[in-house]
Structure 1
Amino acid sequence: MSLPLSMTAVEITQAGGPDVLRLCVRPVPVPQADEIVIKVAYAGVNRPDALQRAGLYDPPAGASDLLGLECSGTVVACGGAVSDWCVGDEVCALLPGGGYAEYVATPAMHALPVPKGLSLKEAACLPETFFTVWSNVFMRGGLKAGERFLVHGGSSGIGTTAIQLARAFGARVFATAGSDEKCEACIGLGADLAINYRNEDFVDVLKTEGGANMILDMVGGDYIARNIKTLSPDGRLVNIAFLTGSKVEINFALVMAKRLTVTGSTLRPQSVVAKAKIAEALLAQVWPLIEAGQVGPVMHSEFALADAAQAHALMETNAHIGKIVLKVG
């Protein structure tokens, strides 16, 4: 297949707010030996995109400076070492960057087939959140059936995914959210209890339930010490972001007394091999659940590629429930 030499993309003109995003023309990427090139149908919009746009999250060495950590579309070129994909295959993929464009290159091992029954629009919402949740809640956090699991930001893309997966694998699920509407959405996705943090203290609520065996947190700040109070003996706290700050003071004696595990990770800087292992686990253990209709993406809104700034502005209001996507192709 002959590809064009140039493509339309969205670039960051300078660090700042959503209005710094502009359409541009860039060269179409050429695949390395282990990569595929995808003609992008939809690109997911995620919180790290906004952090990068604001100058607070540099892409890893060698990654595209363009935003976009996940997409869906059609394979249009394969590197010489790629054997799992063919031109014409429909995929969704985790990206090192570059998704806000008509074409993007990514390691072939980070692509997954579009689950049966899902549209390309829905599939674009899967990679970033499902890779993040699976690797942190199950691989790192070791969540087991019957345990009490608390996720903060339950109505976010990460939160809606975590609620569904934790429920599907037999955990009791608790979530925090910032409005009654968002709490109702969390309950609808399978949470046993949703806590409106504007009205209730999750520490007090979970205390009546025996505490949490595991907590997934993207808030940070004063939530970190409160999470430690909330965990039951041998509990695990996994932090994946720090929306309200990463430097805090905690009472480590409580960590020791309750034998807690405090850990965390970021997905983007991990090695190609590490992310490929997550993809393999998702294909084996989660994709069948998606195809059976037990879990799936929660969609909020769609914007044209040219309206990426509007998509970012919406995301930063925190008014959405679930995922925001850009229609590219």
Structure 2
Amino acid sequence: MSQTLPESMTAIEISEPGGPEVLVPGIRPVPQPAAGEVLVKVAAAGVNRPDVLQRLGGYPPPPGASDIPGLEIAGEVVALGEGAASLSPGLSLGDQVTALVTGGGYAQYCAAPAVQCLPIPKGFDLTQAAALPETFFTVWVNVFQRSALQPGESFLVHGGTSGIGTTAIQLAKALGSRVFATAGSPEKVKACEDLGAERGINYRDEDFVAVVKEATGGKGVNVVLDMVGGDYIQRNIKAMAPEGRLSFIAFLGGAKAEVDFTSVMLKRLTITGSTLRARSVDFKAQVAAELREKAWPLLDSGRIAPVMAASFPLEEAAKAHALMESSSHIGKIVLKT
């Protein structure tokens, strides 16, 4: 089932590993949705750190995935693969959706598993909706599934003004936890607090270990979400309460560190981490179902919303990546087709 579709489309290609300038528009065939997939006419695609890593040659797409970058999209369903409608009841041609994908988002059309599609929250445009899947799936898996953050517990997120950080602050706060966040300027600290952090911590002139210890009466935080690594690893352990959980999603400060694990034993800490892209469709379907039940009502009601930093035309993907790498932005960067 499909509308009449063009045979070709504009997509952003990685001409070779390198800087933002290697992102160039090219012409590709419009993909055909496989069984269980839908084809989305993309209105907007989110830009994420994994896209930057892929562009640099450090994060190749999993087997079978498109080599076109882009892990999240929003747009109109224009074709249904075999069985797609039965996998996602109520999904039909013409619906507007946002979806998590394993690649192919920086394009005018993109195929997505039907079970990874979610409805556009009430009052959202497609640009805002494209900013949701990658960060919401990542935060849900690492903070609420793997780290089991509970209402009343305390939570520290590093990179508080990143797409992940702004999402984590809002979700944790809305679901009843105390939130602390690190950021690199007074403006970014204020942004974290405006989003719901009890205390934003300027990592350039404050020690986040001392701040969270003082704020929690010496106990430390229950859950830490870290995308920095490096010398933060040992400091995270010091900042944590007994039975605390530490989850890694990236290592912008380095993947190796010298760590004294005595505190891990004495505090009975759990250290975990994950990547999302290579996980199975079945796993992502289960996450999507939980998000639809637990997070989407918060979006529908306006209690939480993505923080939008900037949008660029699809053809200016290089400018979007340059902004991402500058780390000067607050929130999400999106490409519009």
TM class, shorter-length: over 0.9
For 1:202, give the aligned amino acid.
Answer: F
What is the correspondence of 1:8-47 to structure 2 with a 5 Å cutoff? 8-47=10-49
Deviations 1:19-66 (A, max 9, x none): 001000000000111100000000000000000000011111100000
Paired position in structure 1 for 2:332: 323
Q: Does 1:59 align with 2:65?
A: no
CA RMSD of aligned residues (A): 0.6
TM-score, length-scaled by structure 1:
0.99
Aligned partner of 1:221 among 230, 237, 260: 230
**What's the offset of the Cα at 1:116?**
1.1
Paired position in structure 2 for 1:155: 161
2:300, 2:112 → 1: CA distance? 24
**What's the offset of the Cα at 1:206?**
1.3
Q: Does 1:303 align with 2:312?
A: yes
For 2:79, give the aligned amino acid.
Answer: A
1:296, 1:185 → 2: CA distance? 14
Identity %: 61
Paired position in structure 2 for 1:95: 101
Q: Does 1:243 align with 2:249?
A: no
For 2:50, give the aligned amino acid.
Answer: P
1:29, 1:82 → 2: CA distance? 15
1:9, 1:308 → 2: CA distance? 10
**Structure 1, gaps ≥5 residues long:** none
1:159, 1:190 → 2: CA distance? 11
Aligned partner of 2:51 among 39, 49, 52: 49
**What's the offset of the Cα at 1:252?**
1.3
Aligned partner of 1:252 among 236, 245, 261: 261
2:193, 2:107 → 1: CA distance? 36
Paired position in structure 2 for 1:145: 151
Aligned partner of 1:261 among 267, 270, 274: 270
What SS does structure 2 have at the residue aligned with 1:73? strand
For 2:315, give the aligned amino acid.
Answer: A
Deviations 1:82-129 (A, max 9, x none): 113211000000011000000000111000010111111110000000
Paired position in structure 2 for 1:116: 122
For 1:61, give the aligned amino acid.
Answer: P
1:262, 1:131 → 2: CA distance? 19
Paired position in structure 2 for 1:71: 73
1:82, 1:311 → 2: CA distance? 33
Aligned partner of 2:323 among 311, 314, 322: 314
1:309, 1:288 → 2: CA distance? 34
**What's the offset of the Cα at 1:80?**
1.0
For 1:71, give the aligned amino acid.
Answer: I
1:276, 1:179 → 2: CA distance? 37
**What's the offset of the Cα at 1:2?**
1.3
What SS does structure 2 have at the residue aligned with 1:158? helix
2:158, 2:256 → 1: CA distance? 18
**What's the offset of the Cα at 1:207?**
1.6
What SS does structure 2 have at the residue aligned with 1:316? helix
Deviations 1:206-240 (A, max 9, x none): 12123110000000111111101110100000000
Aligned length: 328
Aligned partner of 2:181 among 156, 160, 175: 175
**Structure 2, gaps ≥5 residues long:** none
2:82, 2:4 → 1: CA distance? 16
